[in-house]
């Protein structure tokens, strides 16, 4: 299966927590502001997500909640979120101004939020199921 993902020449894949209501909402937010379909998606609980995380030697994404794979490199936490924002429709690229802040400062607040996301927004029993019109944006586990 890993060979199939390599052959796809995936440029940008967002790995997210598929049972987190906030994270699933963030995926919908990205899709609605990415008309050129620059990003594809895979829940970290899926086979595709697990294979891609393993390829990049990421053992567990639960604390980070968000990973952006760009070719052979990846970004986590605020680096991932701001790299995604930079590619969305106006005005979201403005948020890249936060790159001026030290990553440890940004990620501190990100981690606090990530630890409380289930309590604040809830959690599903199973991964989100994308609608038919955006299903092609998600990596398939078959």
**Residues 112-142 pLDDT 10s:** 999 999 999 998 887 777 778 888 899 875 4
**pLDDT range class, residue 63, cuts 50, 70, 90:** low
Residues paired with residue 120 on neighbouring β-strands, in sequence order: none
Which segments of the chain are extended strands (E)?
12-16, 40-43, 66-70, 73-76
DSSP β-ladder status, 73-76 and 40-43: unpaired
Q: Is the dihedral of CA 97, 102, 104, 105 positive or negative?
A: negative
Distance CA 77, CA 64 (A): 6
- Domains belonging to the chain, first-starting first, are 2-124 (3.40.30)
**pLDDT range class, residue 16, cuts 50, 70, 90:** very high
As a whole number, mean pLDDT of residues 86-114 equals 95
Q: What letters, b where the CB count within 10 A reaches 16 and e where it falls short, cover 72-81?
A: eebbbbbbbb
């Amino acid at each position: 299966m890993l060979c199939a993902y390599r052959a796809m020449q995936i440029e940008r894949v967002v790995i997210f927590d598929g049972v987190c209501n906030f994270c699933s909402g963030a995926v919908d937010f990205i899709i609605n502001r990415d008309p050129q379909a620059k990003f594809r998606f895979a829940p970290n609980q899926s086979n595709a997500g697990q294979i891609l995380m393993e390829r990049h030697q990421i053992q567990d994404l639960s604390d980070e909640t968000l990973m952006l794979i760009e070719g052979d490199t990846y970004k986590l936490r605020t680096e991932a979120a701001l790299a995604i924002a930079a590619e969305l429709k106006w005005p979201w690229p403005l948020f890249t101004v936060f790159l001026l802040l030290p990553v440890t400062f940004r990620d501190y607040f990100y981690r606090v939020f990530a630890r409380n996301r289930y309590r604040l927004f809830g959690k599903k029993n199973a991964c989100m199921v994308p609608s038919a019109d955006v299903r092609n944006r998600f990596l398939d586990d078959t």
